[in-house]
């Protein structure tokens, strides 16, 4: 049964646009799927390999700008960004890895946080190259309808899901988890921890960057504060995975679903709208205390709440 879940869900999603959803509903779906990919990327590095990053906006923004700058400087389709973001993000990840991966735990998290901010400020100030705060606008969107964007991001998500699964079932996956559980022990068991942390970082960066490249093409406009923000991207990425379930295949998907819906609901409330960060903060504390393994990780605990008493083991 479990084995058939991914193809069944994929098939259902493929047919969804045919039932005639509103443009708004399609938009939400696209966002959910995009956030799933970012979450899967973060999960590889933070969830499985144990290197918690608070700077994933750096990857997202680099991907978005790869796409935007290709269009802006060379006049070619922004979709090339999806391909170009792979080498760009690999290099970005190598540089970030070189700086941050020698640090451990909270120090690594703080260093990634700082680097994300550094990239935002850089994008704001390299005005000649990036147009700074003016941002980049793609004048002609590829499609008017959301349907094709939906299929593109769905394909990317399916690919990412498969990639994560393949990686985690291979030697790489075992090494990532070994590093998460105990770096020194892993090292003395023959695992080149620096090398494998760097590989996790590159994979993570590339997945997140491709989501960024998609975002550029989908939204048609980016500027430094929308693609490099500390809160709206870096922190929300961590929340997506924590809410859904760290180090689980479906965690990022469930987390993205909940976070995107929650953001929409909260934003639409007239008085609370502006306080959505506060509400997210409270939600995060709640999750950490009651569901430390996220919704997927603590699924038994949640279903247990609804069972009649006594049925609990």
Partner 1 sequence: MSLLQIQHVSKRFGGLAALTDVSYSVEKGKILGLIGPNGAGKTTLFNVVNGFYPPTKGEVLFKEERISHLQPYQICKRGVGRTFQVVRPLQRMTVLDNVIASAFLRAKDKAGAERIALDALQFTGLYDDRSLVSKSLPLGKRKKLEIARALATQPEMLLLDESFAGLNPFEQNELIDIIRKVKAKGITIMIIEHHMKVIMSLSDQVVVLNYGEKIAEGTPKEIGNNPLVIEAYLGEAERA
Site residues (vs partner 1, CB under 8 A): 169-171, 174-175, 177-178, 181-182, 184-193
Query: Which residue, 79 or 174, is less far from partner 1 as judged by CB?
Result: 174
Find the shortest distance in angstroms from Cβ 106 to partner 1. Answer: 20
Q: Which residues pair with 221 in a beta bridge?
A: 137
- Dihedral over Cα of 245, 222, 61, 34: its sign: positive
DSSP string across 211-223: HHHHHHHHHSEE-
Dihedral, CA atoms, 206, 211, 216, 219, nearest 10 degrees?
A: -170
Tokens found for residue 58: 């750096």
Taking each helix axis from N to C end, the angle separating 147-168 and 193-219, rounded to the nearest 10 degrees, works out to: 170
Find the shortest distance in angstroms from Cβ 207 to partner 1. Answer: 23
Query: Which residue, 36 or 183, is less far from partner 1 as judged by CB?
Result: 183
Q: What does the alpha-carbon distance between residue 278 and residue 265 come to, in Å, rounded to a whole number? A: 14
Cβ proximity of 197 and 50 under 8 Å = no
Query: Which residue, 141 or 300, is less far from partner 1 as judged by CB?
Result: 300
Query: Which residue, 192 or 278, is less far from partner 1 as judged by CB?
Result: 192
Query: Which residue, 45 or 62, is less far from partner 1 as judged by CB?
Result: 45
Q: What does the alpha-carbon distance between residue 111 and residue 52 come to, in Å, rounded to a whole number? A: 11
Find the shortest distance in angstroms from Cβ 292 to partner 1. Answer: 12
Determine whether 3 is exposed, middle or buried from the number of CB atoms within 10 Å of its CB (0-12, 13-18, 19+): exposed
Find the shortest distance in angstroms from Cβ 7 to partner 1. Answer: 23
Query: Which residue, 50 or 116, is less far from partner 1 as judged by CB?
Result: 50
Find the shortest distance in angstroms from Cβ 301 to partner 1. Answer: 17
Find the shortest distance in angstroms from Cβ 298 to partner 1. Answer: 14
């Amino acid at each position: 049964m479990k084995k058939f879940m991914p193809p069944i869900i994929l098939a259902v999603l493929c047919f969804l646009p045919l039932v005639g959803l509103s443009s708004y509903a399609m938009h939400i779906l696209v966002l959910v799927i995009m956030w799933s990919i970012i979450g899967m990327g973060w999960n590889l590095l933070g969830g499985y390999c144990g290197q918690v990053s608070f700077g994933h906006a750096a990857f997202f923004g680099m991907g978005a700008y790869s796409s935007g700058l290709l269009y802006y400087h060379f006049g070619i389709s922004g979709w090339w960004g999806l391909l170009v973001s792979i080498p760009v993000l690999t290099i970005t990840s190598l540089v970030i890895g070189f700086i941050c991966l020698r640090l451990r735990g909270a120090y690594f998290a703080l260093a990634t946080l700082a680097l994300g901010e550094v990239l935002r400020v850089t994008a704001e100030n390299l005005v000649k190259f990036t147009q700074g705060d003016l941002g980049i606008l793609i004048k002609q969107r590829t499609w008017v309808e959301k349907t094709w964007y939906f299929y593109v991001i769905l394909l990317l998500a399916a690919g990412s899901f498969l990639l994560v699964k393949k990686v985690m079932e291979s030697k790489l996956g075992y090494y990532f988890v070994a590093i998460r559980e105990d770096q020194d022990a892993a090292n003395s068991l023959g695992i080149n921890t620096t090398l494998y942390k760097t590989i996790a970082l590159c994979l993570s960066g590339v997945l997140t960057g491709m989501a960024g490249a998609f975002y550029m093409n989908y939204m048609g406009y980016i500027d430094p504060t929308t693609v490099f923000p500390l809160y709206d991207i870096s922190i929300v990425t961590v929340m997506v995975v924590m809410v859904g379930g760290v180090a689980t295949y479906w965690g990022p998907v469930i987390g993205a679903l909940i976070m995107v819906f929650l953001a929409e609901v909260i934003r639409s409330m007239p008085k609370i709208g502006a306080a959505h960060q506060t509400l997210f903060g409270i939600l995060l504390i709640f999750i950490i205390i009651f569901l430390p393994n996220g919704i997927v990780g603590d699924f038994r605990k949640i279903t247990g709440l609804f069972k009649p008493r006594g049925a609990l083991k």
